[in-house]
Every structure is written in C-alpha cells, then in structure tokens.
Amino acid sequence: MPADPVPGYWPVFRLVAETVRVTTGIRERLRDPERVRRLAYAAVVLIIAAVVTTVEDGVSVPSGWAWLVLPVGLGATALRPRYRTLVFAVCAGFVAIVSTGESVQLGLAAAGLVFVSVCEDPARHPWLGWVGGLVGAAGALTTALYNGRGLYEQPFFFVTAGYLLAILLRSWSRGHALTRETDDLRGQAAWLEQRTNLARELHDVVGHHVTAMVVQAEAGQLSDDPGAALRAIAGSGRTALSELDTLVVHLRDPDASIAVSAPPRLSDIDELLAQPLRQQGVTVRVQLDPEPGLDEIGVLTAYRIAQEALTNIARHAKATSAWVELVRVGDHVRLRISDDGIGPPRVPTSGSGLLGIGERVSARGGSWELGQRPGGGTVVQVNLPVVNT
C-alpha cells in the first residue's frame, strides 16, 4: 500500500477522487441531448404526479378532476407526435384554468405540460403548447376576476417558464445535432479531397509513365536498336509499378502520404517530360525562367500541368513541334504549352486530365484556358500566383 502523503487524510483524497470521477461521468452523460431529454421528461412527470395527487382544495373544480391529466398524458404517448403535442397542450390549458390562488402549485404542473408539449412538437416553430397554456392562464385570470378573487397572474409566469425551458432544450439539441452533422460533413469532405488528390496523382503519374511506354514501344518498332526501347519500357514500367504501389498503400491507410516520387524540379520538364515526345520525333523546345518565384507546391503544380499537357500532345495532337514556356510576369507565373498539331477538339471534353488541371489551378488561386494556337495547333496557358516575399 502506498504511503499516506498526509497522515490521516488518505480517505479524504479517495473521496475527492471518487467525487471527481462521478462528476465527470455525469457531465459526459449530460452531453447527449437525447439522454438529457429523457431525464427532463422523468423530472416533469414526477412533478406533475406529485402536484395533481396532493392538491386537495382551492381548485375551481373537484380536485379529483386534476388527476385526469395523468392517464390522459400516459395514453397520449401512444399517439403520433402532432396529436401527442395537442393532448399535452390541452392538459396544460386545463390545469392552468382550474387553478386558483389557493392552488398555485398547479402552475408547476401546467408548466411541465407546456414543456413536454413544446418539446414533442414536430413543427419548426412550436406553438400549440404555448397557446394551450396561455388560454388556460387567461381562463384562470378571468375566473378569478369574475369571482372577485383578485388578480391571479401566476399561471402566465408558469406557462412562460415551461415554454422558455422547452425552447432552450430544443435549441441546444438542434445545435448539438448541427455540430455533429458539421463534423460528419467535414470528415466526408476531407475523405473526398483525399480521393480526389489520389485520383489526380494516379492519372498524372501512372498515366504519364504508361503513355511513355506506349510511345517507346511504337518508336522501338522503327528503331535500329529495339533493345534500347525495351529497356526504356522496362524502366518506365518499374517506375509506374513502384508509384502505383505507393498509391495502393495510401488507399489502405489514408493517413499515409501520397507523394509518389521525389519532389520534381522545373528542369525535369525538359529532362523527363519532353523525352517521350522527342522519341516520337516531335521537336520540343523548353524555356524556363530561372527564378519564377514558385514555392515547392507551385513547382509541383506547374510540373503536373506541363506533364498532362505534354502527355496529351503525345496522345492526340499529331504534332511535329511543341513549346513549353514558363516565365514570371509581374505577380504571377505564366506557363504556356503549345503545339502545331491538329488543334483542340471542336467540342471540348472534360476528361480526367483537363479536370485535374482545373483542380490544381483552382487550388492555387490561378486561372487557365485552352485554345487554338495562331497558325494551327493547341495552346494551354496557365497563370499561377507567385510566393510573396
């Protein structure tokens, strides 16, 4: 047994620790709106039962009539919410109207019935319980004045208190539900963003390598050294498989990084991306600003866009020449990829590649356009903001 740090006070420490544990447990339970609602209903039922069964005189009707609200309220629980709300509202009005200054405790029962009626009301703006209680309170006031018993306004305060407590509970429950729904939607949005990023990487990275393999295979058929083409195809295939394996790992573990290769450099556009086109016999000229002002994410964005545009040229353009230009113009970088091929389709399509370009540009707060190159061919122009220094 551990030594008592303060002789004689160990039981006190245990009592305090147990009290804290119980308090924490109660607090956690009270965070659930449905559990709070059930506890509130239980307290209201006990209050109503205690009040109507103990009232003996000072009621405008025989006191036994007040007991009717118990079986009627119990039977109302089997009805649909709308009718249940109406029954509780009528009971609240009945209890309020039969109360007098000598049976002021019946106001507690009226407040409880208004509370339950408003809580059970499926309408967005509940009013039945409120109106039922007010009608009863007005009836009690009228009866008191008619019988010369003086001003009897207490039922109005009880009914108002029951209504306000119900509105507070409804508002808190709705706020809790909205918070939980917001958290769920944020989780779904994050999940969708991960899937979108994964789909974009899959298309840009693996699709590029597969396109390069196709181009190398076609070029190898006309080459004097088909072995070199096969080696190039094997290298592209190994790279594609390695990066595809990384993407599959991310599918199994969404927390894993989806970076499928070392961060690219802008010089890789000329050294890597243009090679499949050159092997296809296309002349590719690359002009890159040495200090464009892009951060690492901006460089990756420019690289992926150039990758997609050059891949499209290799697949569809039937071009003999292509140009890549990346220069800084004021507070933005202009990336232009053009070719002298057959030009853009007359009816533009939103394939995965163009969709990926649009998503990457939007994520960086830039703009882009696809159009006809003067003299024939296609031009893709992208404007990306530079890093503020």
Task: For residue range 244-271, list pLDDT tens digits in order.
Answer: 777 677 666 666 555 555 677 888 888 8
Average pLDDT over residues 57-76: 84
Average pLDDT over residues 328-342: 92
Q: How far is CA 209 from CA 143, 212, 314, in A?
A: 90, 5, 12
**Is residue 338 pLDDT above 90, yes or no?**
yes
Share of the chain above pLDDT 90, in %: 31
Place of tokens 């000229």: 285
Q: Specify the higher pLDDT residue, 171 or 260.
A: 171
CA angle 26, 32, 33 (to 5 degrees): 125
Average pLDDT over residues 362-376: 89
**Is residue 1 pLDDT above 50, yes or no?**
no
- Burial code of 277-300, b = ≥16 C-beta within 10 A, e = fewer? bebbebebebebbeebbbeeebbe
- Taking the C-alpha atoms of residue 198 and residue 251, their distance in angstroms, rounded to an integer, is 8
**Is residue 213 pLDDT above 50, yes or no?**
yes
Most distant CA atoms of the chain, gap in Å: 119
**Intra-chain end-to-end CA distance of the chain, in Å:** 63
**Is residue 9 pLDDT above 60, yes or no?**
no
- Of the pLDDT bands very low, low, confident and very high (cuts 50, 70, 90), residue 83 is very high
Q: Which of 345, 227, 334 is nearest to 288 (CA)?
A: 334
DSSP-assigned states of every residue in 91-120: HHHHHHHH--GGGTTHHHHHHHHHHHHHHH
Average pLDDT, the chain: 82
Number of Cβ atoms within 10 Å of the Cβ of 101: 13
**Is residue 118 pLDDT above 60, yes or no?**
yes
Q: Which of 300, 315, 326 is nearest to 380 (CA)?
A: 326
Task: For residue range 184-204, list pLDDT tens digits in order.
Answer: 888 888 777 777 777 767 766
Place of tokens 């800084």: 328
pLDDT at 60: 80
Place of tokens 């927390």: 255
What's this model's pTM, rounded to 2 decimal places?
0.55
